[in-house]
Amino acid sequence: MDTVSWLGYTLLGVYHGINPGMGWLFAVALGMQEKRRSAVIGALFPMALGHAISIAVVVFIIALAQRQLPEDVLRIACAVILFGFGVYKFFSARHPRWVGMRVNFKDLTIWSFLMASAHGAGLMLAPLLLRTPAAEASGHMHHAHASMAGDAAMLLSAVGVHTLSFLLVTGIVAVIVYEVVGLALLRKAWFNMDLLWSIALMIAGVVILFWKH
Amino acid sequence: MLQQWKPDPTFYPSPKMAIEAPIEDVAYVAAPRDDDKPDAMCVVDLNSASDTYGQIVNKLELGVRDEIHHFGWNACSAALCPYAPHPYIERRYLVVPALRGSSIYILDVKEDPKAPKLIKTLDANEVESRSGYTRPHTVHCGPEGIYVSALASAGSEEGPGGIFLMDHYNFNILGQWEVERGSQSLSYDFWWHLGYDVAVTSEWGYPAMIENGVSLEDLGERKFGHKIHIWDIRHRKNIQTLDLGDDYQMILELRPAHDPTKAHGFVNAVLNMNDLSSSIWTWYKDGNDWGIQKIIDIPAQAPENPDDLPPALKDIGMIPPLVTDHILSLDDRFLYVSCWGTGEMLQYDVSDPFNPKHTGTLEIGGITKSHPHPAAGPVSGGPQMVELSRDGKRLYFTNSLYVAWDNQFYPDGANGWMVKADVNVEDGGLELDPNFFVDFGESRAHQIRLQGGDSSSDTFCYP
């Protein structure tokens, strides 16, 4: 991976991290319900895990598809899915219907997985993945086994970097809101991240068609 | 539908922040009738600077003999709950069930809050076939949709009554809510402690027990509800039943603490069969279980002249207080208790939910009493549905309970009215606003909802 890719995965992690629907808001609420900061911090790790699993599933499916499908076909398919999902999210305010505040590690992991998946968080990484052809990314065109291992390592580090920046940002926002800013933020500064998100998906759908290494 | 860029400004994360909300300009009041004219949703002007302050400025006519009763918003502060946030939904539709007719009306109040528009009607057939229930009653906006309780099963018109869900975008009925109802069969009100993943339901009676007036026979046999049920809201499962004992008949309005970190609430028992008193009970979380304890007894009163008593009470010779509604302020401090029979509105400080302090009383109406209102003279009926502004300073209430029951307990007539009391939120105490009296004429006046939210419309997920 080159610097652009690293930066891309990191910045998308930042973007996912500041979205209240992805985690920090729930972490803040759990802290307030329990009246302790450790509840805020404790919620962040299962959230990061669920987010990482959701991202990894999409990333590995795309990587597999990269091996099976001609590049242009995959590029167009991803563009259609991304753009279509963005359009759907733009017009539909549907949201996951989870109910429950008394959550343990497993619940929070599943919740985060559902939220990330329903928002198409992993899909948003597709332009970065397709930007570098699979073979070229690993650099071992002629050695299938080495190439697969190299691919897997590359994909895992992409998921890892993304998740790390997600965890860091969502954690910082959660603690700042819990300790300093308070809930007034929700009324004043909260704007429709989901709407912005749907536009981001549409942009990603267009970018994926043209953005090659 | 195109989404909003900002959260609905009427949503507040916490009850503390909702207390700071602007003063309400408009009230919506359900006005059923006892004749062949249609029920109406009435709009009352509450803007004190307006020329039409304290008057009905609009009526939207709905069905005939429908008994529109309780109603609620399509969305409220629960949309900010962290596990399924959707704050860009608008609080713009009133969901209005007909307690007798079983249809549900959806009114849009966005364009002109003083002129609600009927945008959709779910007829009784649709409500019954899709939900499995009949006689829809309470409406609450929840994190995953609109919850509606109903008195009975659609086929039998008897138990079990229960709760069904409606989609909060298109108002389709999604079906029965309960997965494991246990012994629960009677139904009435419901609300929840979202911070504890717990819902609470209460018990009234089946349609045949109430629709021709209170069935005194069923009452004598103690067939009305005397329990509340605690539910695991995640698994939609009845986890505990709290029995107040069958001395207590009709357990109605549930008022959980608004602060989501508190795990207690208040419920009224209408009649104690031994002495006709009403009572207020506190339910509370007790370790892993829930408990309930009586905190207030309100005794029956002797009439000045027993001959004036309505036939239903002649043999008994007493006036029961008939506590049929109450409301808890958003700071969880004051509880207002409507004594529909004795014509009193009582205020208690319930900061300590087990040791209430009586802090205020006002008198208006009442069986055989007809305490006057300064602006209207003697009035019929008594304090019944009560609503409180979010800042806790303005208490509004109406005088009708249920058309057939109005006729039973107030046979000389129960013309509808709505009044306002001003509250001293520092020290307690309340007094009638001598200039505020809304005359509904021959219509009855039941539940009040305040524009933007009130003290029984929203649930908060943050303390």
Of B3, B145, B234, nearest to A100 by CB-CB distance is B234
Give the minimum alpha-carbon distance from B49 to chain A in angstroms, rounded to a whole number: 28
Q: Do B80 and A28 touch (CB under 8 A)?
A: no
Q: Do B169 and A94 touch (CB under 8 A)?
A: yes
Q: Do A192 and B5 touch (CB under 8 A)?
A: yes
Residue of A nearest to B144 (CA): A97
Query: pTM for the full model?
Result: 0.94
Tokens coding B333? 């401090």
Of B9, B86, B234, nearest to A99 by CB-CB distance is B234
Q: Do A98 and B144 touch (CB under 8 A)?
A: yes
String of DSSP letters for A2-36: -HHHHHHHHHHHHHHHH-GGGTHHHHHHHHHHHT-
A20 chain-B contacts, CB cut-off 8 A: 82, 85
Q: Which domain holds residue A196?
A: 3-210
Q: Do you know the residue count of chain B? A: 463
Q: Do A91 and B1 touch (CB under 8 A)?
A: yes
The predicted pLDDT at position B282 comes to 98
Tell which residue, B462, B244, B427, has the closest CA to residue B347. B427
Of A97, A103, A183, nearest to B84 by CB-CB distance is A97
The predicted pLDDT at position A140 comes to 45
Helices (H), B330-415: 403-409
| φ and ψ at residue B163, rounded to 5 degrees | -125, 140
Tell which residue, B234, B243, B38, has the closest CA to residue A102. B234
CB B18 within 8 A of CB B390: yes
The rounded average pLDDT for each run of 10 residues, N- to C-terminus, in chain A (213 residues) is 89 93 94 95 97 95 89 90 90 81 95 93 88 56 61 90 97 95 82 84 88 70
Tell which residue, B393, B283, B301, B292, has the closest CA to residue B347. B393
The predicted pLDDT at position A138 comes to 46
String of DSSP letters for B430-452: EEEEEEEEEE-TTS----EEETT
Tokens coding A128? 């970065």
The predicted pLDDT at position A137 comes to 46
Query: Reduced to 3 states, what is the DSSP secondary structure of residue B27?
Result: strand
Tokens coding A130? 């397709």
Q: Is B412 left (phi over 0), alpha (psi -120 to 50) or beta?
A: alpha
Q: Do B17 and A94 touch (CB under 8 A)?
A: no
**Beta-carbon contacts below 8 Å between A and B:** 102
Calpha distance A73→A77 (Å, rounded): 6
Query: Reduced to 3 states, what is the DSSP secondary structure of residue B424?
Result: coil
- Cα angle B32, B34, B38 (rounded to 5 degrees) comes to 55
A101 chain-B contacts, CB cut-off 8 A: 81-83, 194-197, 260, 461
The predicted pLDDT at position B137 comes to 97
Q: Do B261 and A33 touch (CB under 8 A)?
A: yes
Q: What percent of chain B has pLDDT over 90?
A: 95
Interface test with A, best of B5, B83, B179, B461 (most A CBs within 10 A): B83
Interface test with B, best of A33, A36, A106, A114 (most B CBs within 10 A): A33
CB B382 within 8 A of CB B365: yes
Q: Does B86 touch chain A (CB under 8 A)?
A: yes
Mean pLDDT value across chain B: 96
Q: Does B170 touch chain A (CB under 8 A)?
A: no
- Indicate the burial class of A3 (C-beta count within 10 angstroms; 0-12, 13-18, 19 or more): exposed
| Cα–Cα distance list, B21 to B78, B113, B159, B219, B358 (Å) | 16, 17, 41, 43, 27
Residue of A nearest to B142 (CA): A99
String of DSSP letters for B153-213: ETTTSSSPPEEEEE-TTT--EEEE--SB-TT------EEEEGGGTEEEE-B---HHHHBTB
Q: Return the bridge partners of B251, or none.
A: B203, B269
Whether residue B448 has pLDDT greater than 60: yes
Please say whether the dihedral angle defined by the alpha carbons of residues A85, A87, A88 and A92, taken in this order, is positive or negative: positive
Tell which residue, B234, B145, B237, has the closest CA to residue B195. B234
Q: Does B63 touch chain A (CB under 8 A)?
A: no
pLDDT mean over B323-330 = 98
Q: Which helix (H) or strand (E) holds A173?
A: helix A144-176
Q: Please state at what angle helix A105-118 crosses helix A37-68, rounded to 10 degrees.
A: 50
A192 chain-B contacts, CB cut-off 8 A: 3-6, 88
Side by side, the strands of the sheet bearing B38-45 are: B56-64, B38-45, B26-31, B448-450
Interface test with B, best of A101, A103, A188 (most B CBs within 10 A): A101
pLDDT mean over B216-243 = 97
| φ and ψ at residue B361, rounded to 5 degrees | -145, 140
The number of distinct structural domains making up chain A is: 1
Q: pLDDT tens digits for B309-318?
A: 999 999 899 9
Q: Do B84 and A96 touch (CB under 8 A)?
A: yes
Q: Does B194 touch chain A (CB under 8 A)?
A: yes
Q: pLDDT tens digits for B368-407?
A: 999 999 999 999 999 999 999 999 999 999 999 999 999 9
Q: B8-42 burial by CB neighbour count: b if 16+ within 10 A, else e? A: bebbbbbbbbbbebeebbbbbbbbbbbeeebbbbb
The predicted pLDDT at position A117 comes to 92
Q: Which residue has the higher pLDDT, B432 or A90?
A: B432
Q: pLDDT tens digits for B161-210?
A: 999 999 999 999 999 999 999 999 999 999 999 999 999 999 999 999 99
Instruction: Print the SS3 string covering B358-378.
Output: EEEEEECECCCCCEEECCCEE
- Residues 6+ positions from A84 with CB-CB distance below 8 Å: A205
B233 chain-A contacts, CB cut-off 8 A: 99-100
* CATH number at B15-450: 2.130.10.10
Q: Does B145 touch chain A (CB under 8 A)?
A: yes
Greatest CA separation found in chain A? Answer: 58
